[in-house]
Amino acid sequence: MSAADGPRIPPLPPEEWSDELRPLAAFAASGESVSLGDLNIFRTLANHPALFGSWAPFGGYLLTNGTLPFEERELLILRTGFNCRSPYEWGQHVRIALNGGMTRETIDRVPEGPDADGWTSREAALLRAADELHESARIWPGTWDALAAELDERQLIELTVLVGQYHLVAFMLNAVGVEPEPGLEPLPSVQSG
C-alpha cells in the first residue's frame, strides 16, 4: 500500500468528532502551531473515540512529560519511524524535532544508524537500542550496559516503552494508510550498506 492509494479509513473532520473528543480537537501542545484536529493521525483515531480517549493521555505523557531529554526522545522516535518505514511518523517528528531546536544535521544522520560518524556514545547507544528493539524485541547486554551507565532506571524503562509506543503508532499509521499532511518531509530511502 502506498500513499497514492489513499487512506483505508478516512480522517474524521473535527466537527464530526464525538462530544467527549471535541475538546481535544482544538488542543495544541506548547509551542505547536497546529491543533490535534488539524492532524490526520488524530482525525483518523477520532473514528474510535474510546480508544483515542484512552490512548491520548499515555502518548501525550511520553511526548511531553517523560524523563528523557527532548533530543534523545526525538532520536528514538525518528529512528523508530525510519525502521518501521512510516512516512507519517517520520514527517511529523522531523517537524517536531526542528521546532524543538534539533539540528538538521542530526536529523539527517538518523537514517545512517548508530554507527554513523558524529554520534556521542550515549546517542549511539540510544539508536542501537531502538534498532535492537525493532529487530529482536530486546536490548542486548552490551547496549544495555552502555545505556545503564548513562540513564537512571526510570529512563531505561521509559526508553523501551517509548520505542514500543512508536512501533504501535507506526503500525496503525502504515496499516490504516494515514496520509501525511502537505509540507511534511518525506521518509528517506533505506541506506544501502
Tens-digit pLDDT profile for residues 108-120: 999 999 999 999 9
Phi, psi of 64 (to 5 degrees): -125, -20
For residues 138 and 135, what is the distance between their CA atoms, to the nearest angstrom? 8
Phi, psi of 88 (to 5 degrees): -65, -50
What is the extent of the structural domain holding 126?
A: 70-176
Q: What is the CA radius of gyration of the chain?
A: 17
pLDDT: is 91 or 14 the higher one?
Answer: 91
CATH code of the domain covering residue 159? 1.20.1290.10
* Arithmetic mean of pLDDT, 33-41: 83
For residues 167 and 153, what is the distance between their CA atoms, to the nearest angstrom? 22
For residues 127 and 157, what is the distance between their CA atoms, to the nearest angstrom? 15
| Structural domains counted in the chain | 1
With pLDDT > 70 as the criterion, what percentage of the chain qualifies? 93
Taking the alpha carbons at both ends of the chain, their separation in whole angstroms is: 26
For residues 114 and 10, what is the distance between their CA atoms, to the nearest angstrom? 36
Q: Note the pLDDT tens digit of each residue in 155-191.
A: 999 999 999 999 999 999 999 999 999 999 999 987 6
Residue 122 domain-assigned?
Answer: yes
Residue 8 domain-assigned?
Answer: no
Provide the pLDDT for residue 30. 57
For residues 82 and 186, what is the distance between their CA atoms, to the nearest angstrom? 11
Smallest CA-to-CA distance from 95 within 189, 165, 180, 17 is with: 180
Per-chain mean pLDDT for the chain: 92
Provide the pLDDT for residue 193. 46
